[in-house]
Amino acid sequence: MANCVQCGRKLPGFSFGKKLCSWCVQHEAAQRGEEPEDAVQRVEVPPWLRRESTSRIVTQAIFGINVAVFLGMLFAGVSIIDNPSTQDLRNWGANYGPLTIMDGQWWRLLTCVFVHGSFLHIAFNMWCLWDLGSLAESLYGRWTFAVVYLITGLSGSVLSVVWHPTVTSVGASGAVFGIAGALIASYYLGEFSMPRAVIMSTLRSVVFFVGFNLFFGFVASGVDNAAHIGGLVSGLILGAVIAKLAPDRDHPARRFVTLALVLVILGGGAGWWLYSRDYLRHMQRGLGYLGEGKVDQSIEELQTVIRRRPDFVPGHFALARAYATKGDLANAEMEYRRVIQLNPHSDSAFNNLGFVLLEAKKLPEARQTFQQLLALDRNHANAHYGLASVAYAEGDYQHSIDEYKQAAQLEPDMEGVYYRMGQAQFKLKLYDDAIYSFLREQKRIGDDYDLEIALAAAYDAKGMKQDAAAARQKAAELTGQE
């Protein structure tokens, strides 16, 4: 669809060969005196007039906030001239998935827009903000520009944390790209009283800025193109909506309703996505509580994870560990079986389930589980260790020794394998072999109370009373006894 060369209004469809709209034709005829003096000049909706103003209060305010934060970091001792540490950036409000999403610090989606990682970083962003912000503020007005800046900045932050949740992200570039996107859509779709050539020249400049910086972001390292794209797309949407539905700033109510609707749609979509990932926050808390020994709190958080994501394998696995730590073997068994159902190739689940069944005295089921683990990996040392433990519990000590030897051969540094082998050898009265196994375990892990007691028993059985007494004395020293 063509545009009027005089005022920039879009011409009606099928206006082939026409260059002026009907309003401009009538207006020029009136100027030439070709219209009767009493002719009624048709009134049409005026084109979107770009109002020139020397005041750029919002742009200056945003500029000032960014600089103030940067100076605050500098005076606080952050190494801002070079690249500051990621921890420093996080302390000042950087966007980082484990904190933003998992720990529920949603405010980081906004604060990161005002934090920068170096002098060059803030210098480039503020230069772009000053130019594009001034242009956008003169076009939209103060409060509309402020809303566009904040919405697009938040959109860039959301896509950034979604795209790479483990990367620390800072900078105003997402919002700057949002301004550029809004200008592109508005200049392309809006109607202006400026000459079309001026509009197209400005549009080409902004499009070049976006294209060049997106390309640079893809080829250069350390550039958060996710924030750029998130800001750009949301800016294009906002600019298009303003241009087509609420171009006239003299009708603030209409523009407010329009922007509020867009904000609800964009915010609702982002909020839904973040809420759908809220199970990760509970997962993080659950693992944290488990590491601190707060088992009941851990189970409560991990149960929340499972309710929200019933097929989330790491959640079931962590919950099984928590139940096992608490001694709730029945629920631990159930959760490990659920993990295996969801992931039949999880060797860790088979291994842990086998030892839970062993502790619950379900020896045939434990043996079957360790045999299934060997079917997955014939050289799995823990599977042989588990089968050895089952045989020991059943009193089949020779079979137990054979399996422990197989485990030790596959993994010589496995903790406890020689100690358990020595116990089986002691049961068969193979005292020399038992002493050798206990000493080998001692060489690997150092002094240990249980090892000294086992050695004392083996020395006694061999009639080596002096060595037995020395082992008991050492065991007493290890426990602080006389």
Q: How far apart are CA 237 and CA 227, in angstroms?
A: 16
Do 115 and 170 form a contact (C-beta atoms < 8 A)?
Answer: yes
Q: How far apart are CA 348 and CA 363, in angstroms?
A: 19
Q: How far apart are CA 280 and CA 308, in angstroms?
A: 10
Angle value at C-alpha 178, between 177 and 183, nearest 5 degrees = 95
Catalytically annotated residue among 134, 155, 173, 234: 173
Catalytically annotated residue among 116, 228, 380, 384: 228
The string of DSSP letters for 141-204 reads -HHHHHHHHHHHHHHHHHHHHHH-TTS-B--SHHHHHHHHHHHHHHHHHS-BSS-HHHHHHHHH
Could you confirm whether 173 is annotated as catalytic? yes
Could you confirm whether 228 is annotated as catalytic? yes
- Please give the biggest Cα pair distance in the chain: 134
CA distances from 169 to 40, 154, 173, 284, 358 (A): 60, 12, 11, 20, 48
Nearest to 397 by CA among 426, 369, 367: 426
Q: Active-site residue numbers?
A: 173, 228
